[in-house]
Structure 1
Amino acid sequence: MLKTSQSNIDEHLYPVRKEYEQIVITAPGPKTLSKSEENIEEDEEDTLIIEGGESGKELYSAFNSAVLAFTRALVRARVEPIHMKLNVDNGEQEGDRVVLSALLDSDVEVKIEASLSKIKYLIVFPKHDKKSRRIARKLENALLNVLQEPLTA
């Protein structure tokens, strides 16, 4: 099976572990980038210049809406995070993305990846731990309910 560099990046960020189960929820981002939509100019030195600084604002908006949905889901599921960590990844293929990692229990981890094209929620928990499975399923159901509602209520 051939793997693209994007799948290698995803495996590095979200390693597939046999003793762990993963729940992946994706939502569309604020803008799906295509080459026809971008304003790109090439100068004499073959470097790319992207006109307009709107992509940073849109990424900020995507991340804020992803975190808002996540916090509403935490409140609905009545789960309190133990630890949260924020990373900004400047990927060459997909562009900038923001990754928020949250540890909900000693074994339940949630990663939220927000980019311009999509928002990905990943819940990782052990297969054989009933407490962790219950926390993950409660969060999954709450997150699915929150994502179906408008965020500006």
Structure 2
Amino acid sequence: MSVYSSTVRQSRTFSVKLKNKVRFWAAYVPCDSQHKDAVQLTLEQIDVIRRLTEMYQPTLTLCTSSQDIRTAYEKNQLCSLIGVEGGHSLAGSLAVLRTLYHVGVRYLTLTSTCNTPWADCSHADMPGKKPEHGGLTNFGKVL
């Protein structure tokens, strides 16, 4: 299937993001994977993103730097960038953070919809919820 097929063109991804020549792919795993298999699930999502990008080359290209973005633009390619939604995907490990960078991740949200051991998510301000840390912990500031 082409990225220009009618099915893909009707998707929100195509109509909103791809027309601008840049697409941020978000690897997200549920909060209940925290302290369990969040790292594995995140890596599996990144693997899918990378394989999709490879499948649709040269239309899509993985970009990991500003130079990659410029080159893709000059070649009229759609630039794919990878992000991770939610710091729970790190399992509290700076080594995992470095590994995610090496596999192409270029942004990470510290929290998504769940607190992490180093930061409260925005849901902590909702009725019935309580902040665990009062914002960022010292480790969260280092991260």
TM-score (norm 1): 0.28
Q: Which has the higher contact order (CA 8 A, sep 6+)?
A: 1
Is the strand fraction higher in 1 or 2?
A: 1
TM-score (norm 2): 0.30
